[in-house]
Structure 1
């Protein structure tokens, strides 16, 4: 297709200049707008060009500064393969692995690389305490009575306002608050599916999603997923006749960290709408972008109300507050009914505190600093992995989010590595826990949400040493 041909041609030309040292490390590249003007291309095509170059570690994004030629040392590190799940509904849930990994949640004696969350140094705890006190005074009842079923009005207004950052045009009445994003997803599944239905998800995928689906009696169908661009659209086209629901983390999913290009999001929304298959979109990581712009959501391309957009502040602000929401489109009445049946209402005090933090501008200030720190963390983690892990180890190149996906040589068994690491009070997430099929046995996910320190660096180095030990023992 002409559009694809243009972006590939231009990306290859810039890559050639970098590899031949015409463009050298640290050189600043044109802005997105300048690239559009120079090559007479659209904004989406320009973004895709830089996305491709960044995926190959040839360029890097410096928040608030622009695009720069990166250290080519990174370019020699391979990227994990596109996943190849069997396109058949499956439910080989790794319950024992998940139980083992989550048994140490909250244990501060361990270095917890295993959970996709932010830790103390990245969270504005003292500011949020003040917001809760202020909210208790502001609310007529102090926050002790039931809120409306639809949720706190102030928060719904702020969510609708902020939707403009990802291409959304929402109103306060379009939104229903929930107890975190997983509660929103649960309500969507309950409202739209029934036991025996098949739900399509990414592969690998956050285990809480397929655990929930299986507990509700659904069959799970995993889709081939690229570590850079997300699910393969053609694979979804093949699967539409077999599925009843689809659930995707379109922006910086965990564990791969992939972000779907806009043309893929548009195509997926149109495809599922054509077949009347609801799309549940989990967008908890969308605000954690490393570049200059927040990516649009699938919901931005929804013309019929078929996309149910779910999100929360659990990955950006306050994991323990359990403040989430869903914009359910044409399924609003069904979602409201499920919320009434299963929760009645959601805690108004926490929602009011979050809404006030957003309205004050402090949330955006917090996000700007957080994104800078996470991007710095990503670079430090990647440097340490490159220098300490076995040669040939593959590492993803996320453009946002909290996850690093590591693919070892086939001889490095992730569960053996987990057992060795846990004995030294280091917790990692084995790849098998992100699938209901027999795959990713040589992969792990690491969270970059731990503030960088000498201890974190030493623990990463130790994981590398243990993986080299397993590789040596297999020979």
Structure 2
């Protein structure tokens, strides 16, 4: 039997057209002050007569959604101040569901102009060299010609890879440009590496707490996270990892040796060498996440794990998101013996990295301004961390502890046991402040009275006020 015919819409045709345009306005596709589609365009889109289109806009005008302008058409009406809708607030998402839900909720808050974003590990826009980068991007666009709009297939921009090779040498890793693949940020680099060295169901050793983005990737790839406790000062506990490796099979390990996320821990060089040797003995690949490695508060960066790799088992991942431009989404991976597997994974994942951002960053590095920029931004981040840490210890309930990182711009705050970080997250968001609850940094939800605070924005009275509010809310939860 043929399917039943759809029931006719009981509303008049002009009302249906008006509702369609109203939805565009309600969804924000058409913003206040913008011109609406013309009457002729509405006729063509909806297959209606001109008289029906006119009736639809009369209806929209009666609803207070549009206003006519002489010889210019209809425009979306500016709402009255008291009717201005607030941006939706990210809901509390139970951790029993997908980790990615809370991950997305956090970044919804970061993107909101109405929220003081202390939750995302994102540099403040006023700190970044935006003007110089934009000029560089425009210059590269003018001179790139057809190359600027072509796919930059993996391994990616050669000029950028040469610059990256020089930067990696400063951390002791001698990696040729031909051994590097550019990526769409460090998160893609991590995913490509995991796809290259694991299969669904494999066990991956991770620090605890660790960056929730890593846990999200593991979840997406159906991998099992094995939590290894991390020391707030020195990172992953290698004594615990050693005992674990003696008892069970581990297919890969992910470490953040330089100013880890969220602890800000810095693994000593001798411990990095020991970690590489320990995993080499068992032929276990090490994925090294080094996104904060270029941001020590001291005069120079420490050596990377990749510097101690003589077997090609270390897959080094990093990006320029924490130092230059998060939105450019330019990262890289030096995958060692897994080069071909990572390259194929890149081809099937995003195919290529955006060409013009690669060229702009390569130009910024080649001109010699990057080192000067890093020296200045390290001072800013160090000051931010110092001010934020002092304020948290003064404003939060007694018994609160705060990490003391030597680089990066993240703080890990451990509050009294009664303080539920998710409850604090909810209450803070209601006050227009976003934080990252500790639940996000462990698949076993081991850090329920902890939060991560980003110091990526310049210290200001606005930030100080937010810390005061967080402290007040935490004190109420602590009793």
Whether TM-score is above 0.5 comes out as: yes
**SS of residue matched to 1:139:** helix
Distance (Å, rounded) in 2 between the aligned partners of 1:194 and 1:227: 31
Give the aligned partner of residue 81 of structure 1.
none
Which residue number in structure 1 is paired with residue 399 of structure 2? 392
- Kept in 1: contact 2:384–2:409 (CA 8 A): no
Note the C-alpha offset of 1:464.
0.7
Q: How many Å apart are 1:468 and its aligned residue?
A: 1.0
In the other structure, the counterpart of 1:257 is 264
Task: Tell me the residue number matched to 1:405.
Answer: 412
Report the Cα distance in structure 1 between the residues aligned to 2:446 and 2:163, rounded to whole angstroms: 41
Tell me the residue number matched to 1:287. 294
Select 2:347's aligned residue among 317, 336, 340: 340
Q: What do residues 104-135 of structure 1 show as CA deviations (whole Å, max 9, x unaligned)?
A: 13111100000011011211111111011111
Structure with the bigger RCO (C-alpha within 8 Å, sep 6+) is: 1
Q: Does the residue aligned with 2:417 lie in a helix, a strand or coil?
A: coil
Deviation at 1:168, TM superposition (A): 1.3
1:243 alignment partner, one of 247, 250, 269: 250
For residue 471 of structure 1, report the CA deviation from its aligned partner: 1.7
C-alpha deviations, 1:138-182, integer Å up to 9, x for none? 324251011232100000000001112111112111101111101
Query: Do the aligned partners of 1:93 and 1:436 also contact (CA within 8 Å) in 2?
Result: no
Q: Which has the larger radius of gyration?
A: 2
Counterpart of 2:197 in structure 1 is 192
Change in CA separation of 1:226 and 1:453 when aligned onto 2, cut-off 3 Å: same
CA RMSD of aligned residues (A): 1.5
When residues 407 and 93 of structure 1 are mapped into structure 2, their CA distance, relative to the original with a 3 A threshold, is: farther
Structure 1 residue 425: deviation in Å? 0.2
Would you say 1:368 and 2:375 are equivalent positions? yes
Cα deviation per residue 1:443-473 (whole Å; 9 max; x = unaligned)? 111000011111111111111111111123x
Q: Which residue of 2 aligns with 1:419?
A: 426
In structure 2, what is the equivalent of residue 227 of structure 1?
232
CA distance in 1, matches of 2:409, 2:382: 10
Q: Deviations over 1:318-355 (max 9, x none)?
A: 00000000001111111111112222221111101000
Contact 2:255 2:288 in 1 (8 A): yes
Structure 2: segments with no counterpart, 5+ residues: 1-95
Q: 1:38-437 maps to which residues of 2 (within 5 A)?
A: 94-240=99-245, 241-437=248-444
Matches of 2:152 and 2:418 in 1, distance apart? 54
8 Å CA contact retained: 1:92, 1:436 = no
TM-score normalized by the length of structure 1: 0.78
**CA offset at residue 390 of structure 1?**
1.4
Q: TM-score, normalised by structure 2?
A: 0.78
Is 1:468 the counterpart of 2:475 in the alignment? yes
Instruction: Tell me the alpha carbon deviations over residues 406-463 of structure 1, each in whole angstroms, 9 at most, x when there is no partner.
Output: 0011011111111111111011111011110031111111000011111111111111
**d(CA) in 2 for partners of 1:388 and 1:345?**
47
Q: What SS does the aligned partner of 1:441 have?
A: coil
Structure 1, unaligned runs of 5 or more: 1-90
Instruction: Report which stretch shifted further, 142-151 or 319-328.
Output: 142-151
